[in-house]
Structure formats: C-alpha cells, structure tokens
C-alpha cells in the first residue's frame, strides 16, 4: 500500500495519483497498485511558515501517522517544499518516506556527466532552502531562472495551476523554460509539483495535435514516465525504444527505422527501406 500525503496543493496530489494510474494502464483492475491519498489541505502554507518550523512539521507528522496507521508500506509527498521538513519528519515516522530531491539526484547522477549544467524550476522557498542544492551542487552546476523570470513566469505559473488555470500557466511558464534551454542546461528539474502540469501542456506534441496536420502523433522514448505522460496528453506511445537506441550519440536513421518497423502493426501500414 502506497501512502500519498497530498493537499499541498490538491491539484498536484491528484496529478500524482493520475501518474500512477497512467503508468499502470492496460493492467487488470486487480493489478493496479493500492494507494491511499490523504488530501491534507489544512497543512499550513510552506513558504510562509519556514520560520514557524513546527507549525508545518506537526501537521505533516499527523498526516504521515494516519497513513502509517492504515498499513501503508511507504509514503510519498507530492510537494517539493515540504521536503524542507523531511529529516525531522522521517525521525518521527516508522515507515520510509521517499525523498524526491534524493531520487532526482540519484537519477541525474546516472544520466548526466559530472559538473554539467542542470536547470531548476521551483518555488522561491524551495530555492532559498537549498533542498535540491544540498544534493546536487557538489556534482553539478545547478542554475535557476533570473529573478525577473522567477517572479513573472515561475511563481505566477504555479499560482495559476493552483487556481485551476492550466492553459494560462502553459503560456506563462514558457519564457523560463526557454531561458534554461538557451543557457544550455542538460536537464531541467521540475522542482514544484504544479510545474509539470503547466510544462507538459507546453510541450510541442500537444501543439502538433491541435494543428490537425497529422493523423497520428507518435512519441519515441525508452522512459516509462515520458511514455505515460505522452499517452495522457493524447499522443501514441505504443512501445518503448531499446536502451541501445536511446544513447544521445546514437545515429538518428537507425532509430527512425526501428520505430517505423515497430509502428507497422499498430497503424496497419508498412514501409520499405
């Protein structure tokens, strides 16, 4: 049983549950993972309570203890800023709590070269408390948008998602993403659980779908998370690419050929090479 401590915000908690469902799409009902979502929306605002440390910690402990009491094997918190309280929270809870910053660091360490530039999109509270810097700064150059972009794009996009205005958030977040791409970040960490909701609305395949120029939009990836998100937003991602073909230095033509061949049975078509 997975315990999910949500409500920070509610939209992010629901998005996390949807990701679990999408990742397991195609299975029988009985094969889906069991989880409990505790939408603890009365948890005090994290950014405004950094100095009132125990106001937030006490509420997080209450939420985790409820999940622990209901036989959850481990707990996840779909809120990055809440991880500022992680160490003290874990000391008070008997079952494991997954640390998002730690998992992000471990994944980045596997997939990126040391000292490369990594972008971070997050709340000002997450940036100021160095939740991600504490893990990544020794191995990577962690960079954030300019102060102007942080206020006008990132902060505003987060608030728009919390208000349910995802389409507006999609437009607002764009300049911050383009800035990090322009300064050659190898990866971008979406360090606030509202940001992926806006970011993936901003992805190109959604715009391709709206153009009505294509019969099918196919996403090729070896990553199950990307596959799940692509399917969620209406693209086709019927199979996973092999790891051998997913190296960034691998030639494009063999990758395209492999995907066309694998696509034949899904789109009732055939191609000659």
The yes-or-no answer on residue 79 being catalytic is yes
C-alpha 37/C-alpha 16 separation (Å) is: 10
CA dist 111 → 114, 156, 177, 189, 247 (Å): 10, 30, 20, 13, 10
Strand partners, 142: 118
CA dist 234 → 36, 63, 227 (Å): 27, 35, 11
Strand partners, 97: 75
Structural tokens at position 221: 């990836």
The residue among 6, 15, 4 whose CA lies nearest residue 164 is 15
Helix and strand tally (H, E) in the chain?
13, 6
Calculate helix-pair angle for 195-202, 204-211, nearest 10 degrees.
40
Residues 6+ apart with CB under 8 A from 108: 118, 136, 139, 140, 187, 189
Peptide bond into 6 cis (omega under 30): no
Catalytic residue among 72, 79, 185, 237: 79
Catalytic residue among 64, 72, 185, 192: 192
Structural tokens at position 143: 């960079």
C-alpha 271/C-alpha 273 separation (Å) is: 7
So which residues are the catalytic ones? 79, 192
């Amino acid at each position: 049983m997975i315990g999910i401590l949500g409500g920070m915000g509610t939209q992010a908690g629901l998005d996390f549950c949807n990701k679990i469902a999408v990742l397991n799409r195609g299975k029988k009902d009985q094969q889906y993972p069991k989880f409990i979502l505790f939408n603890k929306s009365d948890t005090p605002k994290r950014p405004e309570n950094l100095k009132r440390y125990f106001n937030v910690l006490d509420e997080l402990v209450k939420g985790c203890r409820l999940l622990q009491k209901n036989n959850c094997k481990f707990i996840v918190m779909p809120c990055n800023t809440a991880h500022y309280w992680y160490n003290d929270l874990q000391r008070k809870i008997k079952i494991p709590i997954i640390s998002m910053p730690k998992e992000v660091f471990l994944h980045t360490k596997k997939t990126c070269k040391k000292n490369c530039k990594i972008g971070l999109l997050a709340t000002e509270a997450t940036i100021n408390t160095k939740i991600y810097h504490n893990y990544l700064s020794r191995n990577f150059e962690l960079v954030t948008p300019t102060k102007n972009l942080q206020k006008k794009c990132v902060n505003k996009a987060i608030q728009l998602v919390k208000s349910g205005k995802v389409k507006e958030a999609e437009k607002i977040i764009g300049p911050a993403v383009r800035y990090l791409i322009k300064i050659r970040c190898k990866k971008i960490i979406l360090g606030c659980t509202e940001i992926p909701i806006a970011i993936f609305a901003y992805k190109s395949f959604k715009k391709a779908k709206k153009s009505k120029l294509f019969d099918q939009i196919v996403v090729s990836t070896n990553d199950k998370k990307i596959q799940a998100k692509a399917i969620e937003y209406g693209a086709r991602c019927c199979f996973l690419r092999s790891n051998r073909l997913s190296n960034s230095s691998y030639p494009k033509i063999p990758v395209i050929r492999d995907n066309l061949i694998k696509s034949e049975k899904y789109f009732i078509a055939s191609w000659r090479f």
